[in-house]
Structure 1
Amino acid sequence: MSETLSPPPDAAALAALQQRTIWVLSLGQVLGGLAFGATVSVGAILAAQVSGDEALSGWATASVTLGTAATAVPLAALARRRGRRPALAVGMLIALVGVGMVVTAVGVWSFPLLIAGFLLIGAGQAANLQSRFAAADLATDTSRARDLSIVIWATTIGAVLGPNLVGPGEAIGHMLGMPQLTGAYVFTVITQGLGVVLYLVFLRPDPLTTAQRVTAHHAASGNRIAHADQPMAARYAILAVAGAHVVMVSVMAMTPVHLEHAGATIQIIGLTISLHIAGMYALSPVFGMLADRLGRLAVIMIGQVLLVAALLTAALGQHSTAAVTVALILLGLGWSATTVSGAALLTEASAEQWRTRRQGHNDLIMSLVGGIGAILAGLVLASIDYGGLALVALVVVAAVIVCAPLGRMRTGEGAPARTGASSRDA
C-alpha cells in the first residue's frame, strides 16, 4: 500500500523505467516464444495419435487457446490488483504444470489428460499476450504501438527456434526415456522456469502499479488529459484482433496435419511453422511504426489485405508445400499488423478505469474464438479439405473490413476525460 501512495517517479525516471521494462518483457517473450513454438509444432500430431482420430487433431491448439481464454481475465484482474509482475509469473507457473501433464498423458495414452495439460499450457500464452499490454503501461501516445511491437517482435527469436527444437528434443527425450514426440517439452520446462525468475526478480518497479500511481497523483493534483473513453472504438479493436486470431489459429492449427497427409517430414513441418511464426512477429516493429504514423485503423486494414492474400494462396495452392508456406507467412504478417494496431487502439480508446479490464476481455475473446475455430477447423478439414477451410475463413476477414468505420477514434465527445497529466498514464 505504501508503494501506491508514494509519489511517482519524475518524467526522466519514467522514461528510463519504460526502457528497462521493454528489455525485460522482450527477454521474457524470447523465453515464452521458445515454449510456445515447441508446443504448436507437435500438439496437433500428439492429439491425433493419442485420440486415434485425426478429426480431433485440432483439440491440441484449441485447448491451448481455450486455456488462454480461461486465464486471461483472472490474470488481468490479478495484474490490476497486484501488478504485472505476479500476474506474468503465475501464468507461466501454471503452464509448467500443464507441460508435465502433457508428457504424462502421452506416456499413459490418455486423451483427456492430454487436453487438460494443453489447457493449463494456455496460461503461459495468456501471460505472453499480457506482456504486450505491459509494454503500453508507461508508453506515450506517440510511441505506444512501437513499444508494443518491440515486445511482440522479441517473440520471434524464441518462436522461430521453438519448432526447430523438435529434432534435438527427440534425441534428449530418448535419452531420458520420455514418450515419443515429447522431448521438445524439456526445453519448454527450462524456458518457462527462467521466465518466472526473470519477471519476479527484474520486472521492478512494476510498470502497471507505477502507471496507476502516476494516474492517481495527477488526478489528486486536478490535472486531466483530453482523452475520452470511446467504447465503440474499443469494441472494434477487440473484434479486429479476435477476427485475425481465429483466422490465423484455424488455418495454422490444421497445416501440420495437412502437410503430413501430403508426405512432408517433421522437419519440413517444423520449418513451415517457424516461418509462419516469423511472419507473426519479425515485422511487428514495422507495423508498430506504421500504426504510430498512419493511424491504428489504417494498419488494421493492411492486416486484412494480407490475410486475404494468405487465404487465397492457401486455397489455390493447397497441393504445393511452397505455396502453403507462403500462405502461412502472409497469414502471420496479417495477424501481426492487426494485433499490434488493435492492441494500441484498444488501449487508447479505453479510459484508465476500464483499460486493464478490457485488455483481459480482449485476450479472453480472441483466445475463445481461436479455440472454437481450431476445433471447427478439424471438422472442416475432414469435410472440405484445406483449401475449403481457407475460403471459409475469408468470411471472418470480410466482417472485420465491413465494420471498420466503427473503429474511428472520435474527438469532441462528451465522455469523461482520462485522468493524468500526460499520456504516460497508459
Structure 2
Amino acid sequence: MKSETSAGVAAPPPAELAADPAVQRHILGVLVTSQILSGAGLAAGITVGALLAQDMLGSTGLAGLPSALFTAGSALAAIVVSRISAARGRRPGLAVGYATGAVGSVGVIAAAALDSPVLLFLALFVYGAGTATNLQARYAGADLAAPGHRARAISTVLVATTLGGVLGPNLAAPTGALAHAVHLPRLAGPFLLAGLAYAAAAVVLATRLHPDPLLLARAAAAPTEQAPADDPAADPAAAAASTARTRNRVLLGAQVMVVTQVVMVGVMTMTPVHMHDAGQGTAASGLVIALHVAAMYLPSPLTGRLVDRHGPLAVGAAAGLTLLAAGLLAAAAPAHSVPLLALALVLLGLGWNFGLVSGTAILTDAVPLATRAKTQGGVDVAIAIAGATGGLASGAVVDLAGYPVLALGGGLLALLLLPALATAAARGRR
C-alpha cells in the first residue's frame, strides 16, 4: 500500500525520494548546522582539558589522562550511537550522543567548582560522547550520496566543524573570564560553551533531521537488494571471495583512521602543556589549537574531491607523509616559537583530515547498507580506543623523554600506513 501525505496525495516512493537532490541538500544542511555547534563544544574541551587536569593534580605525567578518558568515553558512545542508528535511524542516535556530551560538560564544570579529580575524570568520560557523535555524523552525510560523490558528502559534514572548532578555542579566555565572574575556576569556562553547544546540536538534529538518511537509503535499496536465484554472486566461492574483499577493505579503512587518530591525539594533547611549561599563556595555546582544528576540518572539500578523483589509497598515503612532516617539525620547533608549533599542528590536522576522509571512503564503499551503521560504529570504537591510548601515553612519554620524542615518534608511526596502502593498491591491480 502506498503511503499518503496529510493532504491525501500519494507520497513519492522511497527510491524517488532518496534520489531527489533536494532531500540530500536538506540533510546536509541540517548536519552542517549541528556540526558547527558541536565543533565549538569539541574544540573547547580539547584546549583546556589537559590544563585542568594538570592544575588539579599538579602533575604533567597525568596531563594526558583527560584526553584518554573522553576518548575512551567516545568508544562506548560510538557503540551506543551506532546501535541506536542501526535500529532507529541516524536522527535519534546523533541527538542522544550530543545530549550526553552536554551532560558531561556540566559534570566537568561541577568537578572544577568542587576541585574533585574523581568527578572530573567521570565527567570527561561522559563528555567523550560528543566527540564520538561528531565523528559519526560524517556517515550520515554519505548515506544518500552517489558512490562517486560520497567523499565530497563526507567532507561537507566535516568542514562544518571548522567554524565552531576555530571559534571554541579562541573563546577560552573570554569564557574563562565569564566563569571567574560567576565564581568558577577559569579553566571551567570553555566547558560552559561546550555544554550549550552540544545541547543545541542535539535539539537541531532531533527536530530537523527529517527524513532520516539511513532509514530512507535502506527503504530505497530494499527492492534491489535481493539477488535473483541464477545470480553468479550466489555461488559459494564467489560469495567467499566477496566477503574476503569486504573484510580487507574494512580493515584497511580502519587502519588508516586508527593510525592517524593515535598520532594526532598524542601530539595535539601535549602541545598546550608543552607551551604552558615554556611560559606561554592560554591565548597562545588556544590560537595554536584553533589553527590545528581548522586544518583538521577546513580542507575537507578539497580532500573529498581528491579522494573521488584519485582514489582513497593515494590520499591515505598522503596522510602518512603529512603526519611525518608534522612530527619532524614539532620535534624541532622551540617551545617558545608559536609560529613553528602552529605550523606543525596545522600539518598534524591536515594529515588527520587526509586519513579520516580517505579511510571513511574506503569503509563506506565496502560495507552494504544492511550492516553499515553497525560496522561504522565498530570501527569508530577502534578509533576511539586508539585515541585514548595515544592521549594516555602522551603524558607519560613527555614526562619521561620530552615533547620532541613524542612528536618524532608519532611521525614515524604514521609511516606504517604506506606499506599497507601499497599492498592494497597492488592487490587491486591484480
- Structure 1 residue 68 displacement after superposition: 0.6
1:328 maps to 345
Q: Quick one: structure 1 residues 13 and 358, their matched pair in 2 at CA, closer, same or farther if it must change by over 3 Å?
A: closer
3-state DSSP of counterpart to 1:142: helix
Equivalent position amino acid for 2:196 in 1: I
Question: Which of 251, 258, 261 does residue 242 from structure 1 map onto?
Answer: 258
1:308 maps to 324
Separation in structure 1 between the aligned mates of residue 13 and residue 272 of structure 2, nearest angstrom = 53
- Structure 1 residue 12 displacement after superposition: 7.2
C-alpha contact 1:18 1:138 (8 A) present in aligned 2: yes
3-state DSSP of counterpart to 1:341: helix
Q: Quick one: structure 1 residues 169 and 318, their matched pair in 2 at CA, closer, same or farther if it must change by over 3 Å?
A: same
3-state DSSP of counterpart to 1:311: helix
Question: Which of 379, 388, 392 does residue 371 from structure 1 map onto?
Answer: 388
3-state DSSP of counterpart to 1:93: helix
Q: How does 1:39-118 map to 2 (within 5 A)?
A: 39-118=45-124
3-state DSSP of counterpart to 2:276: helix
Separation in structure 2 between the aligned mates of residue 398 and residue 220 of structure 1, nearest angstrom = 42
What TM-score, normalized to structure 1?
0.91
C-alpha contact 1:64 1:120 (8 A) present in aligned 2: yes
> 1:179-220: per-residue Cα shift (whole Å, max 9, x none)?
231122222222112111100111001001101111213235
1:418 maps to none
Question: Which of 23, 31, 37 does residue 25 from structure 1 map onto?
Answer: 31
Separation in structure 2 between the aligned mates of residue 65 and residue 399 of structure 1, nearest angstrom = 22
Tell me, yes or no, if structure 1 residue 397 matches structure 2 residue 414.
yes
Q: Quick one: structure 1 residues 346 and 406, their matched pair in 2 at CA, closer, same or farther if it must change by over 3 Å?
A: farther
Separation in structure 1 between the aligned mates of residue 428 and residue 291 of structure 2, nearest angstrom = 41
3-state DSSP of counterpart to 2:280: coil
Equivalent position amino acid for 1:309 in 2: A
Equivalent position amino acid for 2:358 in 1: S
* Deviating 4+ runs (over 3 angstroms): 11-14, 220-229, 405-413
1:359 maps to 376
Identity of aligned residues (%): 37
Separation in structure 1 between the aligned mates of residue 223 and residue 183 of structure 2, nearest angstrom = 57
C-alpha contact 1:102 1:118 (8 A) present in aligned 2: yes
3-state DSSP of counterpart to 2:49: helix
Separation in structure 2 between the aligned mates of residue 275 and residue 70 of structure 1, nearest angstrom = 29
Tell me, yes or no, if structure 1 residue 386 matches structure 2 residue 403.
yes
> 1:36-86: per-residue Cα shift (whole Å, max 9, x none)?
111011100001111221211111111111111111122101101000000
- Structure 1 residue 221 displacement after superposition: 8.9
> 1:327-357: per-residue Cα shift (whole Å, max 9, x none)?
1000000000110111011010122333222
C-alpha contact 1:62 1:370 (8 A) present in aligned 2: yes
Separation in structure 2 between the aligned mates of residue 126 and residue 179 of structure 1, nearest angstrom = 27
Tell me, yes or no, if structure 1 residue 287 matches structure 2 residue 303.
yes
> 1:249-278: per-residue Cα shift (whole Å, max 9, x none)?
000000000000111111001000000001
C-alpha contact 2:254 2:363 (8 A) present in aligned 1: yes
Q: Quick one: structure 1 residues 225 and 390, their matched pair in 2 at CA, closer, same or farther if it must change by over 3 Å?
A: farther
What TM-score, normalized to structure 2?
0.91
> Structure 1 unaligned runs (5+)?
414-426
Separation in structure 1 between the aligned mates of residue 376 and residue 412 of structure 2, nearest angstrom = 25
3-state DSSP of counterpart to 1:75: helix
Question: Which of 184, 195, 214 does residue 189 from structure 1 map onto?
Answer: 195
2:361 maps to 344
3-state DSSP of counterpart to 1:183: helix
Equivalent position amino acid for 2:67 in 1: T
Equivalent position amino acid for 2:140 in 1: A
Q: How does 1:135-214 map to 2 (within 5 A)?
A: 135-214=141-220
- Structure 1 residue 110 displacement after superposition: 1.3
C-alpha contact 1:234 1:407 (8 A) present in aligned 2: no
C-alpha contact 1:58 1:378 (8 A) present in aligned 2: yes
Equivalent position amino acid for 1:348 in 2: D
C-alpha contact 1:232 1:406 (8 A) present in aligned 2: no
Tell me, yes or no, if structure 1 residue 275 matches structure 2 residue 281.
no
Equivalent position amino acid for 1:251 in 2: V
Separation in structure 2 between the aligned mates of residue 411 and residue 137 of structure 1, nearest angstrom = 25
Q: Quick one: structure 1 residues 266 and 197, their matched pair in 2 at CA, closer, same or farther if it must change by over 3 Å?
A: same
Separation in structure 2 between the aligned mates of residue 220 and residue 91 of structure 1, nearest angstrom = 33
- Structure 1 residue 15 displacement after superposition: 2.1
Separation in structure 2 between the aligned mates of residue 74 and residue 9 of structure 1, nearest angstrom = 29
Q: Quick one: structure 1 residues 74 and 407, their matched pair in 2 at CA, closer, same or farther if it must change by over 3 Å?
A: farther
- Structure 1 residue 166 displacement after superposition: 1.0
The alignment's C-alpha RMSD in Å is 2.4
C-alpha contact 1:149 1:287 (8 A) present in aligned 2: yes
- Structure 1 residue 11 displacement after superposition: 5.8
Equivalent position amino acid for 1:190 in 2: L
Separation in structure 1 between the aligned mates of residue 16 and residue 320 of structure 2, nearest angstrom = 40
